[in-house]
Structure 1
């Protein structure tokens, strides 16, 4: 009893300090959990984020922003992770109490014991983002087991529907364009078939498993699956899940280069879709793309090539193309079938390429030229992909905020060129995830922008420096270049310079796990 009374002040101090520290540590952990979620719960990717965002993570106080572009989603996995993280924190604080009591036993100093509790509690609080790595390592085996259960269930369901009900699966991959082709295909195929599409950019095994398990119905004729990958082997994993009968490679270019390292690795990874098609499967290729063309030429399975040039080598193509600020029209040709004039609300020649991919799949699945024509006319722009937005001040706003790449960026500039009698303004943070090519490609895009734009607003002074240099290389008027630190500042500049009739392009929108440098 006497020992207890002697140590009572230590117990009280430890209880107060650790209770406060535990409470605020768990609040502090929400932000790193959000970043880990954005990195797909991948510890390696999360560590790269930490390395690139030291200033953000070393703040004494950081919290979730209510205006996050992609707010944290408290999925079952996130809740399980938080629960384990609470246990990890509790263990650390138990260790701190033990250290505090041992120090008191050795030194008989209340001050030293209390000081150790405060210091170690602060360290646990401060390094929540590092402790989360341990939590995620502990959680991974359980999550892998849960995920495999969902995966196996979805895989079995697809197999059953294919065998018993004749379900066809259309798989779509590519460095870019795959989400647009997915939504365009959904609209066109719906002219004659019952189609199930996946929302937004659902292209991972777990995202697709969720849709298959919860939403795929037995009367579906065609399931459209977008297949994403950030490293070799990931397309194989998704293809084994959805079991595609038809595969489309939309385009290949320098995206996720910090992971893939080379274009050749991207080509091999995207081609996994074609390798996983059955012997009687059908492969569809964008023959306009220089990195896709050799993949088409080496394929022994039934192959369709689409494009807007080299017509003699193509199975489906478009000519007599006319594009303007309200959409496009063109003549669609299907060899051995015929031709038909089509019109679309989509902006830009590159969207005609996306339409051709979907038209090819529709032809393969038995739709007539007239069905395809009607579907093309009904296609609506995909959100954040060169879509026109309503404006209250007379400006014309083009939203191309979805993850930009060199080809897509130039396509957006080509669309701007069609607004011939308008001043043209861009707001952009530049391009990311291009690896060693990032500085060079941003400098090149700056040079390309100089020939099209009247005003340039660059978000992130450090990251957009190569674009700024490219603009200067082309003698662009520096008075019309605005370098700001945030989208809020960009909006303020825009309010000062824009006039009714101006065309404003929002090109790329960095996700929350990137700094606006």
Structure 2
């Protein structure tokens, strides 16, 4: 009787630990966009591999104590499992696990598999080492448990998703007069999307994909929940991490016009090469063909060098061949101003509260699209003046003790350099808070090292988040002879901000650039 109670206590403790770890890995799988390929890359990361090995050793210790010793040893094994469960409870996340219907289905499948293992364990109860082997197999499989559940559920998920896609397709097909504008790029696409919404709304009823809804299912959800017969233009942001992602969205929404905002080293862990990035972004151009217009940022070398047969209108500051080219650009801490000539060679003056030269380029792209679609320049001048910053993208925030430039959404080499250039336009003590850049594949070390050198040229203080993650930045600072006393390596963002707040600047205003904020799967 006592042995049965002890066994049940062991199973309860093991199940508790299993549940906490399952929820953690399910959360990471969700952050990896439910994509097995990306989740496997995450699992193979050195830090995660070490954690998994340590976890297996902990399971081995708990089970050894239960198997090899007397009743006291069994109790120690159970207590150790409970301790593991407590230690692996999810911490407060920046983006918590969302219990979507898909997550719930994966949980059900996971527990069905787990229950089958338990039944086998009970059947083999007389053979204690065979039972132990069953539990150890469960422990070994925990890191890939969500992948197994996802694979089992795949036919169900595919059927459900196909139903949603077909419904969205029917809605699009029922609106033949709807003008769809696709917006893609390695960076800048979300900003351009929201600028387009503001500028086009001077003449049209416009719907845009909300926030960072830029996957196929995100677009499907937008169409099903928000697209109405009264909408005249649908601005669809198109994100991609693999070849074919843009084509998949284009096959759904059938864009008439498109904007490619930039091409750069982004998501190279999945794309593997910059050529694959270029190929994927220009899937939008292939979808448009000759039926509409492709708007290209001609300040981007990769875009300029890629030949296309589309009807093209270009924009940019530095390339004189640009159709819409801002000039006499003035960028300061108070905003930006520039002049621009329309297709009739008439000069127009624009001003905006938005900061940063690359925002001027993004605005020029939005002006090019809106003007081509018939919005008068007079109206565009007014709408540009009314533009508001996109959250976490060079968003200016006045804090109690500092002026914050929030560029925390994500980071890339071009955007990080532009953010530092923007910071350099401000008066005061310039401070950068950053964990560096990720998803740059084999270029990650070198790009972050260069970023370190760029920080050294602009910032009075460098606050780096995470010692291992920011090692390349530290090397770049060291190579640039940046004073060690002006560098602080924080454990996390909370520690970094606490350091900034305590920093004594003798009443001189602090200007703090928050450059990138890594998600919970980093």
TM-score w.r.t. structure 2 length? Answer: 0.89
Where does 1:189-268 land on structure 2 (aligned, <5 Å)? 189-268=200-279
Structure 2 counterpart of 1:109: none
- Cα RMSD, aligned residues only: 1.9
CA 1:23–1:448: 2 relative to 1, 3 Å: closer
CA 1:49–1:356: 2 relative to 1, 3 Å: same
Matched, 1:331 2:324: no
Please report how far the alpha carbon of residue 21 of structure 1 lies from its aligned counterpart in structure 2 after TM superposition: 2.9
Structure 2 contact 332–355 (Cα < 8 Å) conserved:
yes
Structure 2: how far apart are the matches of 1:386 and 1:134? 41
Q: Structure 1: which 5+ residue stretches go unaligned?
A: 1-7, 104-112
Structure 2 contact 20–89 (Cα < 8 Å) conserved:
no
Q: How many residues align?
A: 488
Please report how far the alpha carbon of residue 155 of structure 1 lies from its aligned counterpart in structure 2 after TM superposition: 1.6
Structure 1: how far apart are the matches of 2:504 and 2:405? 14
Matched, 1:310 2:351: no
CA 1:13–1:265: 2 relative to 1, 3 Å: same
**Segment drifting more, 36-45 vs 214-223:** 36-45
Q: Structure 2: which 5+ residue stretches go unaligned?
A: 56-83
Where does 1:467-478 land on structure 2 (aligned, <5 Å)? 467-478=473-484
Structure 1: how far apart are the matches of 2:443 and 2:17? 41
Deviations 1:419-451 (A, max 9, x none): 1x3110111111111110011111111111111
Please report how far the alpha carbon of residue 42 of structure 1 lies from its aligned counterpart in structure 2 after TM superposition: 1.5
Structure 2 contact 465–491 (Cα < 8 Å) conserved:
yes
Structure 1: how far apart are the matches of 2:394 and 2:104? 36
Please report how far the alpha carbon of residue 117 of structure 1 lies from its aligned counterpart in structure 2 after TM superposition: 4.1
Q: Of 84, 97, 100, which aligns to 1:75?
A: 100
Please report how far the alpha carbon of residue 391 of structure 1 lies from its aligned counterpart in structure 2 after TM superposition: 0.7
Please report how far the alpha carbon of residue 498 of structure 1 lies from its aligned counterpart in structure 2 after TM superposition: 4.7
Matched, 1:434 2:448: no
Structure 2: how far apart are the matches of 1:132 and 1:272? 32
Structure 2 counterpart of 1:171: 182
Structure 1 counterpart of 2:59: none
Structure 2: how far apart are the matches of 1:69 and 1:35? 12
Structure 2 counterpart of 1:37: 30
Structure 2 counterpart of 1:416: 423
SS in 2 for 1:175: coil
CA 1:258–1:27: 2 relative to 1, 3 Å: closer
Matched, 1:95 2:112: no
Please report how far the alpha carbon of residue 175 of structure 1 lies from its aligned counterpart in structure 2 after TM superposition: 0.5
Matched, 1:397 2:404: yes
Structure 1 counterpart of 2:282: 271
Structure 2: how far apart are the matches of 1:458 and 1:447? 14
Structure 2: how far apart are the matches of 1:207 and 1:414? 33
Structure 1: how far apart are the matches of 2:394 and 2:158? 37
SS in 2 for 1:389: strand
Structure 1: how far apart are the matches of 2:34 and 2:318? 43
Structure 1 contact 318–331 (Cα < 8 Å) conserved:
yes
Please report how far the alpha carbon of residue 489 of structure 1 lies from its aligned counterpart in structure 2 after TM superposition: 2.2
Structure 2 counterpart of 1:131: 145
Structure 1: how far apart are the matches of 2:229 and 2:517? 38
Structure 2 counterpart of 1:54: 49
Structure 2: how far apart are the matches of 1:24 and 1:465? 33
Matched, 1:383 2:391: yes
